[in-house]
Amino acid sequence: MAIILNEISRTFSEYLLIPGLTTKDTTPANVSLVTPLVKFNKGEVPALSLNIPFVSAIMQSVSDHNMAIALAHNGGLSFIFGSQSIADQVDMVRKVKKFKAGFVVSDSNISPESTLAEVLELRKRTGHSTFGVTENGLAKGKLLGMLTGRDYRIGRDSLNTQVKDLMTPYAKLITGKSGISLNEANDIIWNHKLNCLPILNENQELEFFVFRKDYDSHKAYPLELIDSNKKLLVGAGINTRDYTERVPALVEAGVDVLCIDSSDGFSEYQKETIDYVRAKYGDTVKIGAGNVVDRDGFMYLAEAGADFIKVGIGGGSICITREQKGIGRGQATSIIEVAAARDEYYEKTGVYVPICSDGGIVQDYHMVLALALGADFIMMGRYFARFDESPTRKLVVNGNYVKEYWGEGSNRARNWQRYDFGGSDNLKFEEGVDSYVPYAGKLKDNLDITIGKIKSTMCSCGVLSIQELKDNGKITLVSSTSIIEGGAHDVILKDNNK
């Protein structure tokens, strides 16, 4: 007879938060949502943290480079989906790392002997309008000049005109020296009314560009998640099949953190994948694992060396794993048990392994509950799929704007590697559906509202950080009738459409 756990498997909707003392200092402006992304030793700080406790799901319909850029701008992180070719995923990672700012290595350079036709082709291919003119036409070559869209007129200048006859020559450029700080570079840009400042070494070789627009962008996004080179952080999903080829390519592209994408992470396949990363890169490459729903699963992956562990099976809005296989657990109960295991592991080893709640979020207040129950950050698919920045089409269905949203276990995604147990290369049956979600507009507009709700709720609980919420928050179970009581009831609602 199988072991039977008599504890009821519970969801977030079965809990409510109890208010705590709200002091005069407990205001949304004072609330910090910074949270660790990867494991760290007691007394140390994590190598990577999030400025808001959100990451986007490893899904074709959610996390491409556009979502990664938008979410990192706002303090979170995307894991670019791995159910695509290695080359395509690497290209998405590179687009994110090259998008941002600070000291940008130019990949759009041209030689003085090139023609205007070649310039226009390069512009079409890269989308860039500022080019370093280098002696050999390569990045980090000797800078001879710069060419921008203001230096030529399409239709008036011959396509055979050479770049050296159009460019602003080096003698007329204002440049910065290698080793200059970003603040100093921005001061030069502002003082000389420049749009771009080339940074050169002692041999007049181009090292970086610093752009005015990146300074403006940073001011607009104070929570921006960036690395030491002021570039946006980005993650990537991997599987347990082709990791020996995929991981090196992603690392070379500059990925900041990896995550093994699997519906069931309590497996030797995940340990072997982590072992490979540790053997090849040591602790320099960060890798998360999962998903698990209990203490045993957490302990297995923590001891295998995972940098964070995802929690949740079958709770996603498009996931039908529980329906198809009878496997899973209520998300709230899963978080409670795994969080206790994480704290036990921390006390035993002095290593704190963050946990990520993946699935089960329906209302915004569920996010606060997930954090209060012990999650360090939250992975969401449906929430982000609704926005302009997600990769899917916006359609009109029954008179309403919607966006497409499908699971990685659906026939549309055909991500068989995510559900693989070492068999043949195909999807045996579906564990996800193909659906629509109501279109919601821009990510930032919606995220600002959600963050505002979370901070307000935390203030009502009398806490100013996620750790304080875990330590001092109070939670109560609710009955079915009290859930009804919590919504609008015993009134006749107005029809605002009339």
Q: How far apart are CA 274 and CA 488, in angstroms?
A: 49
Residue 418 annotated in active site:
yes
Alpha-carbon span 391 to 126, nearest angstrom: 19
Residue 34 to residue 49: CA distance in whole angstroms:
7
Signed CA dihedral, 328, 331, 332, 335: sign only: positive
Give me the half-sphere count of Cα atoms (radius 13 Å) on the Cβ side of residue 475.
Answer: 21
Report which secondary-structure segment, H or E, holds 175.
none
SS3 433: coil
Distances (CA, A) of 168 to 119, 165, 394, 495: 15, 9, 43, 63
Helix, strand, or coil here: 154?
Answer: strand
Catalytic choice (10, 246, 386, 418) = 418
Of 71, 252, 273, 344, nearest in space to 289 by CA:
273
Mention every residue, 6+ apart, whose C-beta is less than 8 A from residue 457: 17, 365, 368
Q: Which residues are paired to 238 by β-bridges?
A: 260
| Cα–Cα dist 353/376, whole Å | 9
What's the Cα-to-Cα distance from 26 to each of 23, 93, 410, 452, rounded to whole Å? 5, 39, 45, 14
Rounded to an integer, what distance in angstroms lies between the CA atom of residue 353 and that of residue 342? 6
Contact 258, 238 (CB under 8 A): yes
Give the separation between CA 446 and CA 449, rounded to whole angstroms.
5
* Catalytic (active site) residue 295: no
Residue of 51, 45, 46, 26 whose CA lies nearest to 377:
51
Query: Active-site residue among 319, 356, 459, 461?
Result: 319
From residue 290, give the alpha-carbon distance in Å to each of 27, 44, 78, 135, 304.
35, 24, 16, 50, 12
Neighbours of 167 (CB within 10 A): 23
State the CB neighbour count (10 A cutoff) for residue 344: 14
Residues belonging to the active site: 319, 418
